[in-house]
Amino acid sequence: MDSLTPDPLNRLSRPAPSGRRWPMLLLCLLVLLAIIGVIRFWPAPADPAGKSGRDANRPIPVLVATAERKDMPILLDGLGTVQAYNSVTIKPMIDGPLAAVTFTEGQMVARGDVLAQIDPRPYQAALDQVTAKKAQDEALLANAKLDLIRYQKLVASNFTSAQQADTAKALVAQYEALARQDQAQIDTAKTNLSYTTITAPLAGRTGVRLVDQGNIVHAGDATGLVVIAQLQPIFVVFTLPQQSLPAVARAMAAGTPKVVATPQGGSKAAVLDTGTLTVLDNQVDPTTGTIKLKASFPNANSRLWPGGFVGVRVQVDTAKDAVVIPPAAVQRGPRGAFVFIVADDNRVSRQAIKTGYEDEQHSIVQDGLKGGERVVIDGASRLSDTSTVSIAQPSTDAAPTRRPRPDTPGAPRRKPAGSTE
């Protein structure tokens, strides 16, 4: 090829002039310096815990409690219904107009107190009538006895026949039977007359009056006059799972188990009354798998009311000299329950435990603690083995109350802007 002919391949392989490289190198250097500046002067992220690195070793504030050794009652919880110890519907035993009602609705009455009065005049007249009939028959009986004595003397002297004496004797027996019949009618009339005064058969509290004065009442009336409920003592009927049957049966065999009534849905520490377990039903309900029990309460303060629902706690046993800690101290993990124990130098150690019975305020530790150890009850989520803690004192301030919304009754109204009130 002619040397004068330009070669395109040879022209592409030749290096670019050095004057074109400096802008590219300068641009790369500026980008590199910008990246280094951003990394160097970028603000550090805020510490969400509000601590710097040197604050990581500060003690963690916690609340602690001491594991105690004491006798712990074993309780079973149930839901019960309050029932009156005795409940009586007062009904009239005879017919007649209701002349008077002498009780007040909701009044406490004693046994024998007069509640109502039915017009007694018809029944007093019936009693007077049968009393007079008995007097008449007794007079006839007396005369018949005299005749019998005469005929017996005449028969002995052969002045009359024995048949007349026997007839006189039969007549005496007839009048004696009539006298006894009259006495039975008198007793019936007295009983009916006594029914005109209606009295309380037991001590209790009256309910709402069902019949007003002036109405005609009948012995067959279904509603009655009033219902009297005996409230002191009072019963609570409740159920427990059938799995509790052996423990309840052992407790009843050992004595009379203690029962505590608490408000339904409220704190179990609030006690309405304390009583005893009196009845264990003789069968398990196959539809629900529960057993029915009945407890008796003195109800001296009338806190239990028939028909109300209450919580029930039955003491079936007592754990003697048990190690007890607050339930808040028990932590749960993949390997089971554990607690954090605070040593004398305020360092914590993790201790696996085995728990037993637990209620709102106590948890029995069957294994892992001996009693007397200080365990963490608040702040355990930030702890690990060998963490250093500072023991804080529990706050005694009352819980803050929620401020009412402005649109709720009784809430303070928000002042408008620029108001001088």
> With bands split at pLDDT 50, 70 and 90, how would you rate the model's confidence at 192?
very high
pLDDT tens digit sequence for 43-91: 655 554 444 444 556 888 999 999 999 999 888 999 999 999 999 999 9
Average pLDDT (160-167) is 80
Q: What is the mean pLDDT of the chain?
A: 84
**Block residue for tokens 């505590």:** 260
Of the three residues 169, 195, 221, the one that is the final residue of a domain is 195
pLDDT tens digit sequence for 107-137: 999 999 999 999 999 999 999 999 999 999 9
Does pLDDT of 4 surpass 50? no
Q: Cα(240)–Cα(291) distance, rounded to whole angstroms?
A: 5
pLDDT tens digit sequence for 218-245: 999 989 999 999 999 999 999 999 999 9
Q: Cα(258)–Cα(314) distance, rounded to whole angstroms?
A: 6
pLDDT of residue 409: 39
Quote the DSSP letter at residue 345.
T
pLDDT of residue 56: 55
Asked if 308 and 330 sit in the same domain, the reply is no
pLDDT tens digit sequence for 340-371: 999 988 899 999 999 988 888 889 999 989 98
Longest dimension (CA), the chain: 204
372 falls within a domain: yes
115 falls within a domain: no
Cα dihedral: 155, 160, 161, 164 (round 10) = -90
Tell which wins on pLDDT, 31 or 395: 31
> With bands split at pLDDT 50, 70 and 90, how would you rate the model's confidence at 405?
very low
pLDDT of residue 231: 94
Asked if 377 and 311 sit in the same domain, the reply is no
Burial class of residue 311, CB neighbours in 10 A (0-12, 13-18, 19+): buried
List the strands of the sheet with 216-217, edge to edge: 197-199, 114-118, 96-101, 216-217
108 falls within a domain: no
100 falls within a domain: no
285 falls within a domain: yes
208 falls within a domain: no
Q: Contact 60/389 with Cβ under 8 angstroms?
A: yes
Helix (H, G, I), strand (E, B) or coil at 19: helix
Identify which of 232, 222, 217, 303 has the alpha carbon closest to the alpha carbon of residue 264. Answer: 303
Asked if 288 and 348 sit in the same domain, the reply is no
Does pLDDT of 280 surpass 70? yes
Q: Cα(349)–Cα(343) distance, rounded to whole angstroms?
A: 8
CA angle 47, 385, 326 (to 5 degrees): 100
Asked if 239 and 291 sit in the same domain, the reply is yes
What does 63-126 look like in DSSP terms, one character per residue?
Answer: EEEE-EEEEEEEEEEEEEEEEEEEEEEE--SS-EEEEEE---TT-EE-TT-EEEEE--HHHHHH
Tell which wins on pLDDT, 207 or 2: 207
Does pLDDT of 168 surpass 80? yes
361: domain CATH number is 2.40.420.20
Q: Cα(302)–Cα(275) distance, rounded to whole angstroms?
A: 13
Does pLDDT of 217 surpass 90? yes
244: domain CATH number is 2.40.30.170
pLDDT of residue 41: 67
Asked if 306 and 331 sit in the same domain, the reply is no
Asked if 178 and 140 sit in the same domain, the reply is yes
**Residues near 61 by Cβ (< 8 Å), separated by ≥ 6?**
379, 389, 390, 391, 392
pLDDT tens digit sequence for 6-21: 554 444 445 555 556 7
Average pLDDT (178-207) is 95
9 falls within a domain: no
Q: Cα(338)–Cα(350) distance, rounded to whole angstroms?
A: 7
Of the three residues 195, 213, 239, the one that is the final residue of a domain is 195
Asked if 332 and 315 sit in the same domain, the reply is no
pLDDT of residue 26: 78
Asked if 314 and 235 sit in the same domain, the reply is yes
141: domain CATH number is 1.10.287
Percent of the chain having pLDDT more than 90?
Answer: 57
Domain count, the chain: 3
Of the three residues 173, 195, 217, the one that is the final residue of a domain is 195
Distance in angstroms between the alpha carbons of the first and the last residue of the chain: 107
Asked if 245 and 315 sit in the same domain, the reply is yes
Neighbours of 411 (CB within 10 A): 11
Q: Contact 200/109 with Cβ under 8 angstroms?
A: yes
Average pLDDT (272-283) is 94
> With bands split at pLDDT 50, 70 and 90, how would you rate the model's confidence at 2?
very low
**Residues near 152 by Cβ (< 8 Å), separated by ≥ 6?**
165
* Enclosing domain of residue 375: 62-70+322-391
Asked if 314 and 328 sit in the same domain, the reply is no
280 falls within a domain: yes
> With bands split at pLDDT 50, 70 and 90, how would you rate the model's confidence at 395?
low
Average pLDDT (29-37) is 80
Does pLDDT of 303 surpass 60? yes
Q: Cα(201)–Cα(203) distance, rounded to whole angstroms?
A: 7
Asked if 141 and 183 sit in the same domain, the reply is yes
Asked if 164 and 244 sit in the same domain, the reply is no
Quote the DSSP letter at residue 203.
S
